[in-house]
Structure 1
Amino acid sequence: MKTILAMPQDQQHLMFGPGQLQELSGLVEIEVDRTVPDLQAAADEQLADVEVLITGWGSPRLDAATLQRLPALRAVVHTAGTLRRIASPALWEREDILVTTAAEANALPVAEYSVAQILLAGKQSLSREAAHRRCRGQEHTSTLAHGGNFGAVVGLIGASRVGRAVARLLRNFDLTVLLSDPYVSEEEARGLGAELVALEELFRRSDVVSLHAPDVPSTQGMVTGALLASMREGTTFINTARPALVELDALREQVVSGRLSAVLDVHDDLAPEDPLWDAPAVSITPHIAGSLGNELHRLGESALEEIRRLCTGRPPYAPVDPSMLAIVA
């Protein structure tokens, strides 16, 4: 089964460990030391008998013209989450091509990071650290009366792969978990250990709000200024999803004033002079919640499992359902 790594040069060594690449080369006909970053530049004879494309971040777009040059293609195995940048409508029209994603594998480190930040937020760590630094550790007033994670209320926005993983992990702690998602039933929410509530109620009741909704047209700007203003003073908003889902001006106002704390792992629109950079009770990180370092090999393992299943005729583990594209990332 001829397979090519349709991804930027050397990216396969990030996504797969040496042992994984060795196993891959034993399963399919593939050059594991060579990628094809540009399918348009590849010769017709190189593509004519390709049955499987292994793709990832930065892979070439699979448009109608490219697919026409891949007549034997039967599977696209993606080593990342969303395929929006590489999958054209022509790909979804090809019912004979299986498309799989490593989105579930990529959701796990985001969920782990989110849970860590939720627990720290329960301790009000950002505001307390800022105060501790400001007075160089010389404050004498007790800070034990407020906050804590025993019985605290955590609001999760979105029962995405990440949101569901966060809910499952939070069952290990003495927390009340609220969930808001228009596509989830009360029974499903209870199965996740959460109480299904409207978005407005979630913001009013929560000590920590963590955003896990997909970036689709219906969710852009969903976290409004009114919702942020309804959060109690001293509570924390966490965004590991996408910046487009939040009204940035409203968030800036709440955080810079010190009324709310925030954990922002996604912040594409922040200018260098944005006052959020210097706000004391905000954590701003460069999207480290997602897979990095050795965690990328989990994505490679997910893709490798799909190849194993293809080779043995078993059903795929994580096929992409085109009918769900409007509500998933």
Structure 2
Amino acid sequence: MPHILAAGDLFVTPSLFIDAVKARTSAAADVSFGELTLPWPIEPFGPVGSVDEASGDVPSLIEAMAGAEIVVTQMAPFTAEVFESAPGLRLISICRGGPVNVDLEAATRAGVIVTYAPGRNAVAAAEFAVGLMLTAMRRIVIADSELKNGAWRGDYYSYENAGSELDGATVGLIGYGAIGRIVARVLNAFGSNVLTYDPYADAETVKDDGVELVELSELLRRSSVVSLHARLTPETHHLLNAENLSLLPRGTVLVNSARGGLLDYAPLPALLASGQLGALALDVYDIEPPPADWPLFDAPNVVLSPHLAGATKQTAERAANIVADDIALYLRGERPRYVANPAVWNVLSAGSRS
């Protein structure tokens, strides 16, 4: 009887995983379940051992995994030590866009299949990004705070202080994956002119979506709103820096709801103070949470939220369902859809046929 550990957290809970697996496989009656609840998001994720963006600790995970053939999780830290301590482990299903909290080389050496859940938060993140654009462009949060503190800012209706519209605006999207494409669709409905920079995007797909594919420098020069939607890799770290931020037209609105490392935060206070940046909206940071003396707390025209772009009930449910589908395929002896280390599946499936 396969044993599955549902190592959930306070967002994608163990019960969501268990219910999703039970709903998707006739073999569920012959599967036993264990549960582990990790402290995220009450405690921020971070590095754990050799992996990033993880929650919990290695000893607790190893203890909870006793006898498990399958583990389904969002944040559990799968380090080399974990794989060395779990010889019966065969499948890890990570309900995130990528298995960043897994030492993939160690998993492959151990013969453990690793799956993930692309697109699980695409709708939520895209809607949130557009919400940040509107909030920054129209001072919604700032005006709310001022009014609650007794200030009726009628001067925001003066021409020089008035906000701007998405209709007719040129909006540059850096990254054109699942999230970027949804943002573009929403912006097209608003009447925006949408540009994108993504060296991996298919030019015909972008054109068919009514979006113009351009180089990064051209996007920055032409856009009145810029929103980040790229994955964080060594190549995209500080993709926006002091040098290319200087290309932005005066008064540009900059939005980052993707990853803090995409953006160099050091030049932002001066760009805001000078008016080069008209407004800044952030959901992600170079340090999470930012320290108390972080200079952007006191900078003008800044909207901040605590890494909430993916925080919808639908995201949690979708994440559990995507990985449950792959677990059901595995239990039937079929190849899961989203395998991060396909060489392991190829070896296992060849062995089962021989």
**TM-score computed with the length of structure 1 as normaliser:** 0.80
Contact 2:172–2:225 (Cα < 8 Å) also in 1: yes
Is 187-196 or 13-22 further displaced after alignment?
A: 13-22
Aligned to 1:30: 32
Distance 2:230 2:112 in 1: 28
Q: Percent identity?
A: 30
Task: After superposition, give the CA deviation of every residue in 1:216-239 in whole Å (9 maximum; x if it has no partner).
Answer: 111111101122222222220001
1:317 is matched by which residue type in structure 2? R
Q: 1:162, CA displacement in angstroms?
A: 2.2
Task: After superposition, give the CA deviation of every residue in 1:100-152 in whole Å (9 maximum; x if it has no partner).
Answer: 2123112321112112223445x443698499869623336347987212221
Contact 2:36–2:64 (Cα < 8 Å) also in 1: no
Structure 2 residue 115 is matched with structure 1 residue 113: no
Instruction: Name the SS for the 2:28 alignment partner.
Output: helix
1:172 is matched by which residue type in structure 2? A
Contact 1:4–1:35 (Cα < 8 Å) also in 2: no
Contact 1:203–1:231 (Cα < 8 Å) also in 2: yes
Contact 2:9–2:74 (Cα < 8 Å) also in 1: no
**Change over 3 Å in CA distance of 1:209–1:130 after alignment to 2:** farther
Instruction: Name the SS for the 1:105 alignment partner.
Output: coil
Aligned to 1:285: 305
Q: 1:191, CA displacement in angstroms?
A: 3.5
Count matched residues.
Answer: 315
Aligned to 1:275: 295
2:70 is matched by which residue type in structure 1? V
Aligned to 1:54: 72
**Mind listing any 5+ residue stretches in structure 1 that lack a counterpart?**
324-329
- Out of 164, 184, 203, which is 1:147 matched to? 164
1:81 is matched by which residue type in structure 2? G
Contact 1:221–1:247 (Cα < 8 Å) also in 2: yes
Aligned pairs for 1:163-174 within 5 A: 163-174=180-191
Contact 1:14–1:297 (Cα < 8 Å) also in 2: no
Instruction: Name the SS for the 1:104 alignment partner.
Output: coil
**Change over 3 Å in CA distance of 1:110–1:146 after alignment to 2:** closer
Contact 1:127–1:280 (Cα < 8 Å) also in 2: no
Distance 1:308 1:268 in 2: 38
Distance 2:240 2:318 in 1: 31
Contact 2:21–2:327 (Cα < 8 Å) also in 1: no
**Change over 3 Å in CA distance of 1:299–1:218 after alignment to 2:** same
Q: 1:170, CA displacement in angstroms?
A: 3.1
Aligned to 1:76: 92
Structure 2 residue 145 is matched with structure 1 residue 125: no
**Mind listing any 5+ residue stretches in structure 2 that lack a counterpart?**
39-56, 344-354
Q: 1:35, CA displacement in angstroms?
A: 6.4
2:125 is matched by which residue type in structure 1? V
Distance 1:10 1:80 in 2: 15
Distance 2:91 2:302 in 1: 43
Distance 2:6 2:122 in 1: 23
Is 128-137 or 210-219 further displaced after alignment?
A: 128-137
Contact 2:8–2:73 (Cα < 8 Å) also in 1: no
**Change over 3 Å in CA distance of 1:128–1:266 after alignment to 2:** closer
Distance 2:194 2:334 in 1: 37
1:75 is matched by which residue type in structure 2? L
Structure 2 residue 105 is matched with structure 1 residue 89: yes
Aligned to 1:327: none
Structure 2 residue 2 is matched with structure 1 residue 2: yes
Task: After superposition, give the CA deviation of every residue in 1:248-281 in whole Å (9 maximum; x if it has no partner).
Answer: 1112211244442111101243331223112231
